[in-house]
Structure 1
């Protein structure tokens, strides 16, 4: 059951990455992330004994699913390494692609040697993956089919850990990368324990404990991969609640702004669309308050900078102007227009943050009016 939970989380993370890649332009980083997560999910699924037995029976070669797990782990290490090196590199795109091809080539060679070593070795009786590892990891059974993949996985994932720690930060993506890196650290430890057992230099940890550590690593990697999507969803829902009152009021005044807008789609895109509608409606309101004069031109020519007040106070003035137009539409509301330069976002704010600030102030004003009227 736990194996399928881990495999399901990794499959969900892979599906989200595939969906994101389909919606956006396909990139080398996205493809590498899909390969890494999908391969790791395959490793988890292949450790389910009924599936292991089914694959071995179909291929008619005992324990072949264990070899496929090795190949999938190699693919996971290669995808993770390409993903982190491509995302962190400042080289030209053509150079990054060449480096990625070299990395994939090395991984393919090691996977091919692993498969050749497995199929040229004497067949063994059918057994569970953990039992197969216990019998074949040791000084008397050390072969290229174990040593090469373990060395490659450990070295490749060590590079991923180094780059992941270096580029982790407090941003949403940085936090997710940090959690992902913790999972990779656990994978490196599990690979190191398997490698030490393969050369017969430690009895400190058994195969079962190392496999459990690898399962924990898969769970942490899946959590790190899903974290941005979860945070984006909750963040988008919160932003929708903030901008909804302002959007409703401006849409009532300018219904044509929403023509042609798709009501469904990814939540982040819906938030961006609705913020764009608010921005357009604010421009139309300012133009009407100026008597048809171009608000953008007035802002650029007469007042090149935003007013010298705190951002919260500036957003509050805009919100009060919109609120006045709801209570006293027409010339009375236009008289409260603070000026086109007040619509310019402060230097420290992005367009999105500025719309959110205005919407938050308007929502607060609306709540106060509702409380006062009741």
Structure 2
């Protein structure tokens, strides 16, 4: 049951990445992430005993699921390495693609050698994956078939862990990268324990403990991969609540702005779409406020950009919109502070600036509603 929970979480993370890649432009980083998560999910699924028996029956070769787990783990290490090196590299796209091809090529050679070593070895009785590892790790000739893949996985994921820790930060994506890197570090430790077992050193840790550590590592990797989507969903819900009062008021004043809008779709796209409506409506509101000689004269007198904190600037815009709620649609708002007040401060993006104005407007609107009640 636990194995399928881990495999399900990794499958969900893989599906989300595939959906994101289909909606957005396909990139080398997205493809590598899909490959890494999907391969790790396959490793978890292959440890389910009914599936291992089914594969042994289909391929007519006992314990074939074990070598498939090795190949999947090699693929996961290759995908993770390509993902982190491509995302962190400052080289040209052509050079990054060439480096990725080399990394995939090395992983393919190691996977091929692992398969050849397995299928050229004598067949053994069918057994559970953990029992197979316990009997074969450190058993003379079988050691050679385990050393190369384990060394590759350790080296590749050590590079991933180093780059992940280096680029982790307090942002939403940085926190997810830190959790993902923590899982990768646990996979490196599990691989090190298997490697010690392969060379004959068994006093440090057993196969069962190493397998449990690998399961925990896969769970942490899945959590780190799903964390951005979870935070994006909750963040988008919060942003929808913040901008809704301002959007309702501006939509009432400018109903033509929303013509042709498709409100359904991913939540993040809906938030971006509604913010674009607010931006268009603010432009129309400012254009209407500038109609007339008095408004133009007042604007020319305020050509200097506002020398106030961003909170005060956003509050002034929110107060201007709030004060015009009862103004006739054809009349200019006499309290318009000027077009330069609508421009976001240098430290704000377009999205952050609209959120700041919407948050100030929501506070003003909620205060009026409480006073009226």
TM-score scaled to structure 1, two decimals? 0.96
Q: Distance in 1 between matches of 2:168 and 2:355?
A: 27
Show the counterpart of 1:69.
Answer: 69
Show the counterpart of 1:203.
Answer: 203
Deviation at 1:138, TM superposition (A): 1.2
1:319-343 alpha-carbon deviations (Å, 9 max, x no partner) = 1111111133358761111111111
Runs of 5+ unmatched residues, structure 2 = none
Show the counterpart of 1:265.
Answer: 265
SS in 1 for 2:324: helix
For the 8 Å contact 2:137–2:143, the answer to whether it is kept is no
For the 8 Å contact 2:187–2:214, the answer to whether it is kept is yes
For the 8 Å contact 1:89–1:96, the answer to whether it is kept is yes
**Alignment of structure 1 residues 275-290 onto 2, 5 Å:** 275-290=275-290
Q: Distance in 1 between matches of 2:331 and 2:241?
A: 29
Deviation at 1:303, TM superposition (A): 5.9
Q: Distance in 2 between matches of 1:150 and 1:307?
A: 61
Show the counterpart of 2:180.
Answer: 180
Show the counterpart of 1:322.
Answer: 321
Instruction: Compute the RMSD of aligned alpha carbons.
Output: 1.7
Deviation at 1:302, TM superposition (A): 7.5
**Alignment of structure 1 residues 201-280 onto 2, 5 Å:** 201-280=201-280
Moved more, 159-168 or 335-344: 335-344
TM-score scaled to structure 2, two decimals? 0.96
Q: Distance in 2 between matches of 1:292 and 1:7?
A: 66
Deviation at 1:141, TM superposition (A): 4.7
**Alignment of structure 1 residues 44-55 onto 2, 5 Å:** 44-55=44-55
**Alignment of structure 1 residues 76-87 onto 2, 5 Å:** 76-87=76-87
Runs of 5+ unmatched residues, structure 1 = none
**Alignment of structure 1 residues 1-374 onto 2, 5 Å:** 1-291=1-291, 306-329=305-328, 334-374=333-373
SS in 2 for 1:334: coil
1:118-152 alpha-carbon deviations (Å, 9 max, x no partner) = 00000000000000000000153543321111010
Q: Distance in 1 between matches of 2:144 and 2:70?
A: 12
Q: Distance in 2 between matches of 1:216 and 1:5?
A: 11
Q: Distance in 2 between matches of 1:312 and 1:210?
A: 53
Q: Distance in 2 between matches of 1:198 and 1:302?
A: 80
For the 8 Å contact 2:290–2:332, the answer to whether it is kept is no
Q: Distance in 1 between matches of 2:273 and 2:302?
A: 28
1:275-323 alpha-carbon deviations (Å, 9 max, x no partner) = 1100110010111111179x9xx98x87666301121111111111111
Deviation at 1:160, TM superposition (A): 0.4
1:218-257 alpha-carbon deviations (Å, 9 max, x no partner) = 0000000001111111001100000000001101111111
Q: Distance in 1 between matches of 2:287 and 2:225?
A: 45
For the 8 Å contact 1:142–1:199, the answer to whether it is kept is no
- Change beyond 3 A, Cα 1:203–1:141: farther
Q: Distance in 2 between matches of 1:141 and 1:219?
A: 33
For the 8 Å contact 2:291–2:332, the answer to whether it is kept is no
Q: Distance in 2 between matches of 1:68 and 1:340?
A: 64
Name the count of aligned residue pairs: 370
Q: Distance in 1 between matches of 2:106 and 2:304?
A: 55
Q: Distance in 1 between matches of 2:67 and 2:305?
A: 64
